[in-house]
Amino acid sequence: MSESAAEPLLSIRDLRVEFETDAAAVAAVRGIDVSIAAGETVALVGESGSGKSVTAMSVMRLTEGRIAAGSIQFQGRDLAHVPEAEMRSIRGGQIGMIFQEPMTSLNPVFSIGQQIEEVLRLHQQLSAPAARTQALELLQRVGISAPARRIAQYPHELSGGMKQRVMLAMAIACRPRLLIADEPTTALDVTIQAQIMELLRSLQREFGMAVLLITHDLGVVAHFAERVLVMYAGKIVEQGSVRDVFKRASHPYTQALLAALPDPQNPRKRLAAIPGRVPSPAMLPPGCAFCARCAHAFEPCPVRQPPLFAVGEGHHAACFLRE
Amino acid sequence: MSVPVGPAPAIEALAAPHADAEALGIAETPAQQLWRTFRKDRLAMLGLYALCTLLAVALIGHLLTSWWVLFDPTTVRLPDKLLPPFSTASSALSAELMPPFHAYPFGTDELGRNVFARMLQGAFVSLSVGIVAVSISLGIGITVGGLAGFYGERKLGPLSIDSLLMRFTDVVLCFPTFFLILTVVALLPPSIYNIMIVIGITSWMSTARFVRAEFLALREQDFVTAAKALGLSEGRIIFRHMMPNAMAPVLVSATINVAHAILTESALSFLGFGVRPPYATWGNILADGRSYIFDAPWLFLIPGAAILLVVLAFNLVGEGLRDALNPKLRKRVG
């Protein structure tokens, strides 16, 4: 549990990220709090456009939007305000990141060895032979067979799963304290997904990394994460341990998401869908962003923003039903 | 085939037998792939052979003409003036004036200078002007295009960097380049270096446009974000990670630009604005030969043919490269 640790590894407070448009600044993330303890796995779930990737990119300070308010405390520094040079040494050094599209996340003109060695030489000032030796070890660690042969290969010669393994090798090359995995398995086959998640889990144990897992795959969350944060329209609507959130979903949005999962016992049942669509971030209601699609909406919902109400031990939901 | 090199024996042991990698046709570097496709284009290969020969001739010629006294292209032999190609030197010449092997393979000009020696000297001038000028233009073009493409959206006052740089490019593109060069060269002391620089700084615009277009597309690629997430600096991302990916069209246009630069230099020398006369270039050999079109046609035919050949060879190689770098074509051929 994050609260039990004296000082969380990563602590995002009231983060607000805005994008400039022709009309006005539009907020993709509207004041969220996230804290991750060392070694913990936290999943950030939500549908496309809910702001989960923007949150992740903000931690790396690579978002194209502007961090308008809030702080991102990481090991005693506020990542929202550290100088760019220091940020560069944190990226890839203390925070690693892997992406959704392994197919295009590697540079096509360099061999995978060159790309891994570059990270090692940059952050750890290794000599070329030392970097090569360590790159071979990393490739072997992420389960690439015959690393001495693979290391000279180019990305187009590898399969998607292997590329994601290479991305992982690069992300963990400098033993980061935090790994951000932005939909790491979305672009992969189901069988490969399981292998990659298993690998991620074993690497996490070995290196004692915390993992911020961005996904919309609730199955992956249930399997892999300890805590889960549900985002909707730039706000966290529910958070708690995976067990609590899956067993006692307290926000109507989370309930609807879980109801939309296919039921393996009854495969012919029609899948439930949430009516309506995510509101555009430029036209959010003053109250709860979900109220237009919510079956339980009542008087305060459209006019007042619901704060997070405690519904259990470390389990919160932003819904007036839980007041 | 690139064989991976394991630094330590323990690591080497991790390697599976290399045989299956080769059987699958993998482990081919992009350069090898390019060469494999390029080789199948006969015309381009012909151009490449011609260029290699010419380069060798120019280098050897440069050494010969600067170190071998008998081969000195400035030696005047008035008794032997305007001799046709393959004629032998008259025995009246003193030993120190006698051309090598007593022969003039390309004849002599109106001062009895050995045209073969002059052509050799000119080959070096033409090629070095072409290559140096294009290197300068590539340097400027890649920098301008790269900055415009990568930092395009950043504002500098009311304008974005992109519009600032690209409008500047458009302005330079509007100048009638050749007359600009003529003016500049007329004002500067006539030296081969000035000509290289002037040609270079008036021919970078197409490169800048190509590079910018490539960068606009590359900037959005995931591997650029991934490189940022690994903590690489922007300079490293631009020059080490994005540039090689943008090189294909640049390489093609550079090859063809070399041909242009050689033509420009020849034209300048022909007009008398190029390299100072005692020093031979193909352009001024051609210019000298102009007065003897009917009496000594080899004086303009030989440099003219040489210019034609070089420009043609560069263009053929450029087109071959363009085809080889085109991924759609590559798949079909490979």
Q: Which residues, in sequence order, are bridge partners of residue B87?
A: B104
Disruptive mutation site among A62, A84, A105, A179 for chain B (greatest number of B CBs within 10 Å): A105
Give the pLDDT confidence score for residue A322 in this predicted structure: 84
Q: Measure the CA–CA gap between A164 and A145, rounded to whole angstroms.
A: 14
Residues A191 and A308 in one domain: yes
Residues A200 and A71 in one domain: yes
Last residue of a domain, one of A123, A144, A173: A173
Do the chains contact at A88 and B221, CB–CB below 8 Å? Answer: no
- Taking the Cβ of residue A97 and every Cβ of chain B, the question of whether any pair is shorter than 8 Å is answered with yes
Residues A294 and A212 in one domain: yes
Residues A169 and A179 in one domain: no
Query: Mind listing the pLDDT tens digit for each residue in A76-96?
Result: 899 999 999 999 999 999 999
DSSP one-letter string for B58-87: HHHHHHHHHH-GGG-TT---GGGTTPPTTE
Give the pLDDT confidence score for residue B17 in this predicted structure: 43
Q: Is residue A268 part of a domain?
A: yes
Residues A39 and A153 in one domain: no
Query: Mind listing the pLDDT tens digit for each residue in A150-176?
Result: 998 888 888 889 999 999 999 999 999
Q: Is residue A5 part of a domain?
A: no
Q: Is residue A49 part of a domain?
A: yes
Q: Measure the CA–CA gap between A303 and A244, rounded to whole angstroms.
A: 29
Do the chains contact at B6 and A149, CB–CB below 8 Å? Answer: no
Q: Give the closest residue to B303 by CA, choosing from B103, B152, B85.
A: B85
Give the pLDDT confidence score for residue B330 in this predicted structure: 52
- In this model, does residue B16 exceed pLDDT 50? no
Read off the tokens for A276.
Answer: 């309506």
The chain B residue lying nearest A90, using CA atoms, is: B231
R_g of chain A, CA atoms, integer Å: 21
Interface residues from chain B to A (CB-CB < 8 Å): 2-4, 6-8, 11-12, 14-16, 18, 21, 26-30, 221-223, 225-233, 241, 244-245
Q: Is residue A1 part of a domain?
A: no
Q: Which of A89, A110, A145 sits opposite B231 (nearest CB)?
A: A89
pTM as predicted: 0.77
Residues A164 and A178 in one domain: no
Q: Which of residues 14 through 73 in chain A touch B, CB cutoff 8 A? A: 60, 62
Residues A70 and A208 in one domain: yes
Q: Measure the CA–CA gap between A187 and A197, rounded to whole angstroms.
A: 13
Residues A209 and A232 in one domain: yes
**Cβ–Cβ < 8 Å for B171, B256:** no
| Side chain identity at residue A118, one-letter code | E
Q: Measure the CA–CA gap between B325 and B117, rounded to whole angstroms.
A: 38
CA dihedral angle for residue B93, residue B97, residue B102, residue B103, rounded to 10 degrees: -110
Residues A156 and A31 in one domain: no
Q: Which residue did the predictor score with more confidence, A30 or B1?
A: A30
Q: Give start and end residues of each alpha helix (H) in B114-160.
A: 115-150
Q: What percent of chain B lies above the pLDDT cut of 90? A: 27
Do the chains contact at A154 and B29, CB–CB below 8 Å? Answer: yes
Q: Which residues of chain B have a CB within 8 Å of the CB of A106?
A: 223, 226
Q: Which residues of chain A have a CB within 8 Å of the CB of B11?
A: 133, 136, 147-148
Q: Which residues, in sequence order, are bridge partners of residue A182?
A: A214
Last residue of a domain, one of A155, A173, A191: A173
Do the chains contact at A148 and B223, CB–CB below 8 Å? Answer: no
Query: Mind listing the pLDDT tens digit for each residue in A15-54?
Result: 999 998 877 888 899 999 999 999 999 999 988 888 898 9
Q: Which residues of chain B have a CB within 8 Å of the CB of A96?
A: 229
Q: What is the ipTM of this complex?
A: 0.85
Residues A74 and A124 in one domain: no
Query: Mind listing the pLDDT tens digit for each residue in B82-106?
Result: 888 888 877 777 777 777 777 888 8
Residue-number span of the structural domain to which A163 is assigned: 102-173
- Domain ranges in chain B are 42-333
Q: Measure the CA–CA gap between A227 and A212, rounded to whole angstroms.
A: 10
Q: Which residues, in sequence order, are bridge partners of residue B160?
A: B155
Q: Is residue A40 part of a domain?
A: yes
Number of domains, chain A: 2
- In this model, does residue B8 exceed pLDDT 50? no
For the sheet with A315-317, list strands across it: A95-98, A178-182, A210-215, A41-45, A227-232, A235-241, A315-317, A309-312
CATH of the domain at A196: 3.40.50.300
Last residue of a domain, one of A173, A199, A215: A173
Q: Give the length of chain A.
A: 323
Out of A71-75, B152-156, B305-309, which region has the weakest mean confidence (pLDDT)?
B152-156
Residues A202 and A317 in one domain: yes
Q: How confident is the model at residue B170 (pLDDT cuts 50, 70, 90)?
A: very high
The CATH number of domain B42-333 is 1.10.3370.10: no
Q: Is residue A25 part of a domain?
A: yes
| Side chain identity at residue A268, one-letter code | R
Do the chains contact at A92 and B27, CB–CB below 8 Å? Answer: no
Residues A143 and A270 in one domain: no
Q: Is residue A4 part of a domain?
A: no
Query: Mind listing the pLDDT tens digit for each residue in B42-87?
Result: 999 999 999 999 999 999 888 888 777 667 787 888 787 788 888 8
Q: Give the closest residue to A180 by CA, choosing from A17, A54, A50.
A: A54
- Taking the Cβ of residue A116 and every Cβ of chain B, the question of whether any pair is shorter than 8 Å is answered with no
Query: Mind listing the pLDDT tens digit for each residue in B114-154?
Result: 888 889 888 988 889 999 999 999 999 999 999 999 988 88
Do the chains contact at B244 and A109, CB–CB below 8 Å? Answer: yes
Q: Measure the CA–CA gap between B209 and A37, rounded to whole angstroms.
A: 49
Q: Is residue A2 part of a domain?
A: no
**Cβ–Cβ < 8 Å for A236, A305:** no
Side-chain half-sphere of B231: how many Cα atoms within 13 Å?
27
Highest mean pLDDT of the ranges A240-254, A287-301, B25-39: A240-254
Q: Measure the CA–CA gap between A69 and A59, rounded to whole angstroms.
A: 13
R_g of chain B, CA atoms, integer Å: 25
| Cβ-Cβ contacts under 8 Å for B166 (sequence gap 6 or more) | B148, B208, B209, B212
Instruction: Compute the mean pLDDT over every residue in chain B, rounded to the nearest whole number.
Output: 82
Out of A3-12, A217-226, B156-165, which region has the weakest mean confidence (pLDDT)?
A3-12
Q: How confident is the model at residue B18 (pLDDT cuts 50, 70, 90)?
A: very low
Instruction: Compute the mean pLDDT over every residue in chain A, rounded to the nearest whole number.
Output: 89
Read off the tokens for B29.
Answer: 């570097």
